[in-house]
Structure 1
């Protein structure tokens, strides 16, 4: 029992209002979602970057303890974009290193259900949301988060 507690402590770090969780191999647990406006997947939702508001990114963030990757994707979409969606296909898990930190992001397709008038990141940090056609979304992502292009490209190949 004590060993389990130590293992759990080692796999989490506290952050304001959340806990960072890690896989045993040291990768941070993250989830992201590609929210499509319709089943045709002609438009995808991006949000303004919290660190660079003039740039657009795929909604996503850290997984909370006891949260599944799919549940984290739904929560991140609501917090960052003020959008409610239904989780669909798992696109894949993407690993990368950023600033010496290892991250593994589980990416899901979500189908748009509704937009909220106000949402957490809009009121706290002025975050914006915008629907892009696929070509424009890829162009925006290439400018600031090129690795996120892989999420979108892979999701479109696996329709």
Structure 2
């Protein structure tokens, strides 16, 4: 929900109602392939409290792997949420690594006070969005043409 909130709140609202995208779509499969095949020898997946699925590098850093940096903020916020959850709920402090294997880039992400406040504002925004009775207003964005929810918005 963190990523959806930062990409499109309308998409978040649909997803919160069980209106899911086609997981077999090419874009989704490409992302899954990059995630499954990158850093396999250095990271391990964990499910926490039945809520979070996160990857941890051998170094102990939490890793988020994405195909492209085109939607960098949503990916960063997802990683920051993992770090926030670990710290707030489980009292575990970790740093994160945001990686784009196809671009051969990666960066360290830390949960500082500013990031913590942004995560908490995001969580409040998510709750506000999903509690609405109708989806948020349409807002044309550069990536709408590639969105798997476009039939709900533009048809």
**TM-score between both structures, scaled by the size of structure 1:** 0.27
**TM-score between both structures, scaled by the size of structure 2:** 0.27
Structure (1 or 2) with the greater strand fraction: 1
